[in-house]
């Protein structure tokens, strides 16, 4: 059931005709191989919700898929390695999407191991179903030892197992009731329970006339929906168990936490033996993904207005403004301040008061 690499048609959904974008940024984000640069351009392009979505993506296959889309006339390439969606590509993708199922709630991939959550969810359905029939002799649906241990620990920790099973069953029923009926049926038919063997993708595909890859996406979409809707519920310990660390590296999160606790960046550099550029990149990473970053430490309202004025005297957008061009106009400007200004502008943060 592991998701295959992204279909080339799905890639069209990340490009548009107005803003040329670099496919290499999309590839890095999908794989979760992020840098401060790829995160920044992910913000500019509106791609931050794809981080770690396809960690097994094969670089050469991705490049070939983009080349195929260009050759087909769905994308057009510029000399600077950016591509944009053609009118032909827009119409093709609209028609394709009408009969297929792209992934939803993709931002969850950065924070959670969605594949492991899917395995845990399937196992939990089986365990609760067999418990309801007082059956202790069955072959578990997965050989994932981590998933088995987490479900066993969760279940054994319930003081009232009947109540826990009822609560979980109700959570699942409500989630499926809120889904498209056909999609809910597809998901339910993949589950295994007492004297119920789940169907394979091939079997469901034949019965429902749905592409097998779309069945995988439907299952992931409902898996994601369950995870999102069940936050704080009886299964929260299992959700916590599949945490994936987030969109930025752990080291960057640590730097930010230390800074917010009052530790100066110079001290953080000394404690963790980091270069100044590394510490600054850590702060930029957090500024990109967080909603409440303290911009005012670097960019005052006055400086914001000054930089905005300087930027609009040039021939480029603020998002594409290059540091060396800005520094020629303001020699005392350092890179972290410059990039934070750009991030603020892209996000619509005007005054740096956070």
Q: 107-162, pLDDT tens digit by residue? A: 999 999 999 999 999 999 999 999 999 999 999 999 999 999 999 999 999 999 99
Q: At what angle do helices 161-177 and 212-229 cross, to 10 degrees?
A: 120
CA-to-CA dists, residue 111 to 106, 233, 289, 300, angstroms: 10, 18, 12, 32
End-to-end CA distance of the chain: give it in Å, rounded.
43
Give CA–CA dist 108/220, Å, rounded. 11
Give CA–CA dist 265/285, Å, rounded. 15
With H, G, I as helix, E, B as strand and everything else as coil, classify residue 104: coil
- Ranges of residues in the chain with a pLDDT under 70 are 1-4, 314-315, 350-354
Spatial contact of 354 and 296, defined as CB atoms under 8 Å apart: yes
Q: Half-sphere exposure (CA, 13 Å, Cβ side) for 321?
A: 27
Q: pTM (2 decimals)? A: 0.91
Number of CB atoms found within 10 A of residue 99's CB? 9
Spatial contact of 135 and 194, defined as CB atoms under 8 Å apart: yes
Please list, in sequence order, all residues whose beta carbon lies within 8 angstroms of the beta carbon of residue 315, skipping any fewer than 6 positions away: none
Please list, in sequence order, all residues whose beta carbon lies within 8 angstroms of the beta carbon of residue 126, skipping any fewer than 6 positions away: 138, 140, 141, 191, 192, 193
Give CA–CA dist 47/107, Å, rounded. 10
- What DSSP string runs through 47-98? -GGGTTS-TT--HHHHHHHHHHHHHTTSEEE-TTS-EEE-HHHHHHHHHHHH
- Residue 329, H or E segment: helix 323-329
For 181-218, what is each residue's pLDDT tens digit? 999 999 999 999 999 999 999 999 999 999 999 999 99
Check residue 354 and give its pLDDT. 41
Share of the chain residues as helix, strand and coil, in percent rounded to the nearest 5: 60, 5, 35
Check residue 316 and give its pLDDT. 75
**181-188 LR contacts (CB < 8 Å, sep 24+):** 182/208, 183/101, 183/218, 183/221, 183/222, 184/222, 186/210, 186/215, 186/218, 186/219, 187/218, 187/219, 187/222
Check residue 78 and give its pLDDT. 95
Give CA–CA dist 64/57, Å, rounded. 12
- 186: tokens are 């597809």
- 339: tokens are 């990039």
Give CA–CA dist 154/235, Å, rounded. 8
Spatial contact of 238 and 151, defined as CB atoms under 8 Å apart: yes
Check residue 2 and give its pLDDT. 56
Q: Whose CA is closest to 310, among 329, 334, 333?
A: 329
């Amino acid at each position: 059931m592991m998701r295959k690499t992204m279909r080339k048609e799905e890639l069209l959904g990340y490009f548009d005709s107005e803003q040329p974008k670099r496919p290499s940024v999309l590839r890095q984000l999908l794989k979760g191989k992020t840098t401060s640069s790829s995160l920044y351009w992910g913000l500019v392009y509106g791609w931050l919700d794809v981080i770690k979505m396809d960690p097994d993506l094969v670089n050469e296959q991705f490049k070939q898929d983009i080349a195929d889309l260009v050759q087909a006339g769905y994308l057009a390439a510029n000399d600077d390695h950016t591509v944009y969606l053609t009118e032909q590509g827009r119409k093709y993708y609209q028609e394709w999407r009408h009969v297929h199922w792209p992934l939803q709630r993709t931002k969850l991939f950065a924070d959670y191991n969605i594949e492991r959550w899917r395995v845990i969810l399937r196992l939990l359905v089986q365990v609760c179903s067999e418990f309801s029939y007082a059956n202790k002799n069955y072959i578990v649906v997965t050989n994932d030892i981590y998933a088995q241990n987490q479900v066993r620990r969760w279940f054994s920790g319930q003081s009232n197992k009947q109540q826990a099973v009822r609560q979980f069953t109700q959570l699942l029923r409500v989630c499926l009731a809120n889904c498209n009926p056909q999609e809910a049926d597809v998901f339910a038919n993949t589950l295994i329970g007492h004297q119920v063997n789940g169907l394979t993708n091939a079997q469901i595909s034949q019965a429902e006339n749905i592409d097998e890859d779309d069945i995988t996406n439907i299952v992931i979409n409902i898996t994601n929906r369950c995870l999102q809707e069940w936050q704080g519920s009886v299964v929260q310990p299992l959700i916590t168990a599949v945490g994936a660390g987030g969109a930025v590296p752990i080291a960057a999160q640590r730097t930010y936490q230390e800074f917010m606790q009052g530790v100066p960046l110079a001290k953080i550099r000394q404690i963790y033996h980091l270069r100044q550029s590394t510490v600054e990149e850590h702060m930029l990473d957090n500024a990109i993904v967080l909603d409440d970053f303290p911009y005012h430490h670097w960019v005052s309202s006055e400086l914001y207005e000054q930089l905005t004025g300087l930027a609009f005297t040039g021939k480029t957008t603020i998002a594409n403004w290059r540091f060396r061009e800005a520094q020629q106009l303001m020699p005392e400007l350092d890179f972290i301040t410059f990039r934070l200004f750009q991030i603020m502008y892209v996000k619509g943060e005007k005054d740096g008061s956070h």
